[in-house]
């Protein structure tokens, strides 16, 4: 079994060095480094790594743009986003654009390695602490419809992940439960909201300020 090949893209040399050491120590193969989004894309093209670690904020094409470029040209490469902010907005966009993972820079080294490994295997994993903030923090405003919906805690989490654009399988992985369990929650959510599919549920969630 060959090593997982990774490209690191961040505009700060210090961060790159830190990540490189961290990943190398875990037995991963850092095959390239980029300081801009554009560089990251061309490196991905020439080196075909298993995973690209992209900082959200970079000169000459930011992380999201680079992500989009890579996924459209090289969809088989897994891209993990790195950020300092726990922004639902960005998270949602990154997921929609096909990111395999989303990491906070202050995440535990083990957590970073875990997410990169999972990404290489084709899984989608969101950093636990980031996920926490997204799932547990509900904007207080406009909570009336939410109250009326009378969702349970777990159903609420599932709904938020639906509203982020995750599939049932991705939700199952994220919440560490089985796919069947997720499907059960999803059905209950539909009943309670009075909708008939996940798209309508997502729209409901966005309109009622459940996310963002």
Partner DNA sequence: GAAAAAATCACCCCGCAGGATGATTTTTCA
Partner DNA sequence: TGAAAAATCATCCTGCGGGGTGATTTTTTC
Task: Based on the shown chain and the rule CB under 8 A, indicate whether residue 25 belongs to the binding site for its own copies.
Answer: no
Q: Which does 165 bind (CB under 5 to 8 A by kind): its own copies, DNA, none?
A: its own copies
| Using rule CB under 7 A, residue 199 touches DNA | yes
Q: How far apart are CA 197 and CA 107, in angstroms?
A: 35
As measured in angstroms, the least distance from the Cβ of 188 to DNA is: 8
Q: Footprint of DNA on residues 126-165 (CB under 7 A)? A: 152-155
Binding track over 115-154 against its own copies, x by CB under 8 A: ----------------------------------------
Q: Which of 8, 66, 97, 104 binds its own copies (CB under 8 A)?
A: 97
Question: Could you tell me the sign of the dihedral formed by the alpha carbons of 68, 79, 126, 22, in that order?
Answer: negative
What minimum distance in Å lies between the beta carbon of 156 and DNA?
8
Q: Contact with DNA (CB under 7 A): which of 178, 194, 203, 207?
A: 178
Number of residues that bind its own copies (CB under 8 A): 28
CB of 157 to DNA, least distance (A): 8
Question: In terms of Cα–Cα distance, which of 41, 34, 127 is closest to 80?
Answer: 127
Between residues 72 and 152, which has the closer beta carbon with respect to its own copies?
Answer: 72
Distance CA 156, CA 153 (A): 5
Question: Phi/psi of residue 195, each to 5°?
Answer: -115, 175
Give the binding range for DNA (CB under 7 A) out of 20-28, 38-46, 84-92, 197-205.
197-205
Q: Which residues fall within 8 angstroms of residue 190, CB to CB, at 6 or more apart?
A: 196, 197, 201
Residue 98 binds its own copies (CB under 8 A): yes
CA angle at residue 182 from 202 to 185, to 5 degrees?
A: 70
- Dihedral angle at the C-alpha atoms of 70, 53, 133, 162, nearest 10 degrees? 30
| Calpha distance 85→82 (Å, rounded) | 9
Q: Which CB sits closer to DNA, 76 or 106?
A: 76
Please name the residue that has the structure tokens 């470029």.
69
**Where along the sequence are the contacts to DNA (CB under 7 A)?**
152-155, 167-169, 175, 177-181, 183-187, 190, 196-199
């Amino acid at each position: 079994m060959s090593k997982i090949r990774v490209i690191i893209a961040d505009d700060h040399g210090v961060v790159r060095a830190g990540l490189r050491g961290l990943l190398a120590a875990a037995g991963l193969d850092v095959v390239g480094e980029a300081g801009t989004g554009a560089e990251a894309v061309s490196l991905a093209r020439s080196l075909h790594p298993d995973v690209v670690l992209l900082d959200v904020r970079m000169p000459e094409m930011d992380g999201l743009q680079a992500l989009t470029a890579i996924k459209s040209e090289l969809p088989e490469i897994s891209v993990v986003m790195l950020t300092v902010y726990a922004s639902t907005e960005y998270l949602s966009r990154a997921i929609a654009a096909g990111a395999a993972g989303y990491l906070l820079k202050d995440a535990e080294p083990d957590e970073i390695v875990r997410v990169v490994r999972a990404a290489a295997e084709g899984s989608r994993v969101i950093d636990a602490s980031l996920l926490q903030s997204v799932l547990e923090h509900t904007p207080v405003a406009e909570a009336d419809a939410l109250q009326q919906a009378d969702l349970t805690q777990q159903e609420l989490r599932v709904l938020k992940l639906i509203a982020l654009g995750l599939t049932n399988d991705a939700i199952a992985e994220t919440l560490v439960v089985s796919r069947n369990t997720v499907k059960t929650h999803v059905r209950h959510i539909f009943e309670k909201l009075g909708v008939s599919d996940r798209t309508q549920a997502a729209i409901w969630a966005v309109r009622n300020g459940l996310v963002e």
